[in-house]
Amino acid sequence: MKKLITLFAGLIPLLSFAQINFVQGLTWNQVLDKAKLENKVIFVDAYTTWCIPCKDMDINVFTNLDVGVAANENYISVKVQMDKTDGDSEKIKAWYQKANDLAKYITAYPSFLFFSAEGKFIGKEVGYQSPANFLAILKKYQALRNDDLLIRFKRNELNETELYDFAFRLKELKDDSSAIQVAEYYKGHFIDKTESVNVLNNSFAKFISSFGRLFRPQDQIFKFMLNHPKYSDSLMSVWEGFSQSTTDFIIREFELSPLLWTDDNAITEKPDWKRIEQRLRTRFGGSNAKRNLLWAKIRFYHKLGDWDRQIKYEIEQKALNGLDTSPLGANGINTLVYELFFLHAKDLASLQKGIEYMEIILKKYPENFHYSDTYANILYKAGYKERALKAAKRTLELAKKDKGLDTETMTWYQDVLKKITNNEPTWIQAYTN
């Protein structure tokens, strides 16, 4: 019997590690104190009583020996019920307020939240995980303790992958200054020192999309993307035009903008466009110069409120690039035609261009009553009353099919039709409402 008792006594420590030991009866502040005292990360299992995958985690994963050992050695683990039921115990009710605080991190259940011992949010994972996957998650967040990583970063101990991941982790946590510092180091020590063809992959596309302001026109990777845009897109497995869009951003941010604005104020009301164009052509080639110069002119005259010149260069840009008739692009055209061409154009040629743009997107989206309304208004301002009346009536017919349309918008469309019928200018309505 003594040997049997000794055997069971020896198994007690093992059994305690055979599952995650979730702390009970503590407040959040006490959990923080415990984490600081034991130098551990905090793991919160955010669950609901109705969540089946949450119960599966309890049965199949949190009882796993390897998961239990990893969690108990490195984490202070807490279970927090996120919903409320009539049968809730006093211990669960005591955490209602903290559950409300944690709700901002929740998008689905189960959610696994990770915090530093100081209570700083480190990150989260969502959904049912196998024991192997959850073990990997525990190892990941143990490695991503920001304080430890910052110390290792300052000692130059992080490798390429760790630096990349750490930069995005800091960005996710909205520690932008630290994220930029880490990303800049990563760029200088790895991107700038590696052949461009070996840099260009999907991970780099994510990096330059997030930290684009770290790149300059003199960078070798910029020059490669500028000179080989389609090849660069293929290497990164991104949408066609990504490289051009990225290099355009860098040209505009660091080459064009400093020549035109200081603290968002125009340096001069009469830029030397010929000199600027020549500079762009010399550095980036003719097609890149023309495209980006048009962008600069449109933005410059928009900020000055010089609508005639903005309209002129908008038309030139559309002639150069064509119209983007994707859903997002069509919305942009509709807004441009209404807010610029309809409200500000004074000459018939400009109004007819606006009409042309609207006819193109209405051909693709004939049931869109917002587009039909813009079309009716600009037709009317251009002097085509009968066509405008037809378009305004069409707008109302389409709008009535939308059962969720608010009364104010419907009244607006009715007023447009009424004004056109009565020969009253609808553009006064647009200015004053």
d(CA 340, CA 266): 21
Which residue type sits at 384?
Y
Asked if residue 411 is part of any domain, the answer here is yes
The mean of the pLDDT values for the chain is 92
What is Dmax (Cα atoms) for the chain? 106
State pTM to two decimals.
0.70
Q: How confident is the model at residue 12 (pLDDT cuts 50, 70, 90)?
A: very low
If one counts the domains in the chain, the total is: 2
pLDDT number for residue 10: 46
Q: Is residue 152 situated within a structural domain?
A: no
Q: Domain range for residue 133?
A: 2-144
Domain termination site, one of 144, 162, 190: 144
Question: Is there a domain that residue 181 lies in?
Answer: no
Here the CATH number for the domain that contains residue 43 is: 3.40.30.10
User: Residues 201-258: pLDDT tens digits?
Assistant: 999 999 999 999 999 999 999 999 999 999 999 999 999 999 999 999 999 999 999 9
- The verdict on residue 163 lying in a domain is no
- Residue at a domain's end among 121, 144, 167: 144
Cβ-based neighbours of 307, under 8 Å, separated by 6 or more: 301, 340, 344, 345
Which tens digit of pLDDT belongs to each residue from 92-142?
999 999 999 999 999 999 999 999 888 988 889 999 999 999 999 998 888
> Is 186 part of any domain?
no
Within-domain flag for 327: yes
Pairwise CA distance, residues 381 & 348, whole Å: 9
Beta pairing class for 111-115 and 121-126: antiparallel
How far are the Cα atoms of 376, 405, 413, 422 from residue 417, in angstroms, in the given order?
A: 9, 17, 6, 9
What DSSP state is assigned to residue 351? H
Which has the higher per-residue pLDDT, 429 or 180? 180
**Dihedral of alpha carbons 423, 425, 426, 428, sign:** negative
Burial class from Cβ neighbours inside 10 Å (0-12, 13-18, 19+) for residue 2 reads exposed
Q: What's the CATH number where 421 sits?
A: 1.25.40.10
Last residue of a domain, one of 128, 144, 160: 144
305, part of any domain: no
127 lies in a domain? yes
